[in-house]
Structure 1
Amino acid sequence: MKTVSTADRPNVSLRDAATLVALALKRTTNKAGQPRIRARMSSKTFKRLTGRRIGGANSAKEFTEELSNLGWLMVRMPSAYGFVRSASLTKWPLTKSNVIAKELEQIGGESEAKALDDARRELGGSIDVGGPSNASDASNRAEGKKKVVR
């Protein structure tokens, strides 16, 4: 397998960088040879592929808009980028406002600060993106119980 050497790395516009990244993502397959709907790319690979880093807010916005036009969404992580095919989101479950009905009622009843403080406190327990989503999940993990996926 031929790899790109650091000497051969391009220095392209943000639009062209989005094109190269989308092409690499499109060509990435799983073990069964099917196209992936999500993938990670290290910052090092991203720089090798495009010759650049995503800098400030304006360049990130321009890059993600171009990438979105090509059917992909991007999430920046500390040492990598996460990508998901836009079309796959239509299959994801919807979250409705009724799951935070109590908080919405508090906000409407002049208890906005308390509702938001409580929400921040609850979210503070989740350290990573895949971490526990609520207190019972956290206590189950602390006790070594497996999370039931429904």
Structure 2
Amino acid sequence: MASTENTANTENTKSRSKNRVANQAALKLLMETYPKAFSRTEVRPLKIGIQEDLLADEKIAKNKIKRALASYVRTLSYYRSLQAGNARIDLAGEASGEVSAQEAEHAKGKLKEISRQRREREQEQRKVQAEKEKSDRLSNKLEQLVNLKGR
């Protein structure tokens, strides 16, 4: 049963990695095609309905647009850009609406949730590492005892 779980976890990890690569490639294409709207260094809130504008422009395939947008709007930088009153931008980088107080609060909640999840993951990793170190110490002591007895 454990090996079945390990196989499933390995497959899941490979799938996530493959999706991540595809998402990043789609995002790169979006940034190259619309540099005034999409940037890694100058992340700004996007116009509501920008997906429809991208689809209507027909420069990028629908599945790539969805992947890229999903990746872009879920970054910490994007959530941080969602401050009440900040201008939203269209594909040309021009102002097209602004971030509402409710949207800013939602983004703030998302940032808190991401931070909480990170802390939990880090705590779990520290716990696993501590258990591994404890197990290694015990194995070393047992090995030393076996070696003493064998003399």
TM-score, normalising length: structure 2: 0.24
Q: Which has the higher strand share?
A: 1
TM-score, normalising length: structure 1: 0.24
Q: Which has the higher helix share?
A: 2
Bigger radius of gyration among the two: 2
